[in-house]
C-alpha cells in the first residue's frame, strides 16, 4: 500500500471545510483514502496524482500552502 501524501491547507477552519475538501478530493481518479484534519489543517491523501489533488482542493475553494 502506498504512503499517504500530506498537504497543508491553512484555510481549513470548520466542518464545512472538511466536508467540501473531502467531497472534491474523493472524486480524483486513483484516490483511495482522504483524511482532513481540522486541528493540524492538513489533508492526507492516499493514491491519485498530486496535481489533480491540488486542483481538487482548489476547486473546493482552498489553497494548498
- Give one DSSP letter per residue of 11-61, joined into a string: T--SHHHHHHHHHHHHTSTTEEEEEEETTTTEEEEEES-HHHHHHHHHHTT
- pLDDT value at position 1? 61
- pLDDT value at position 2? 76
Q: Can you say whether the dihedral through the CA atoms of 47, 7, 22, 27 is positive or negative? A: negative
pTM assigned to the model: 0.94
5: enclosing H helix or E strand: strand 5-8
Domains and CATH numbers, the chain: 5-59 (3.30.70.100)
What percent of the chain is predicted at pLDDT more than 70?
98
Instruction: Locate 36 and state its grid cell.
Output: 482532513
45 with 32: CB under 8 angstroms?
Answer: no
What confidence tens digit (pLDDT) does each residue in 10-21 have? 999 999 999 999
Amino acid at each position: 500500500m502506498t504512503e499517504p501524501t500530506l498537504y497543508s491547507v491553512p484555510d481549513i477552519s470548520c466542518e464545512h471545510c472538511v466536508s467540501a475538501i473531502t467531497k472534491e478530493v474523493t472524486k480524483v481518479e486513483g484516490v483511495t483514502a482522504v483524511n482532513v484534519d481540522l486541528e493540524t489543517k492538513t489533508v492526507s491523501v492516499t493514491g491519485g496524482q498530486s496535481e489533480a489533488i491540488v486542483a481538487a482542493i482548489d476547486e473546493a475553494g482552498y489553497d494548498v500552502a
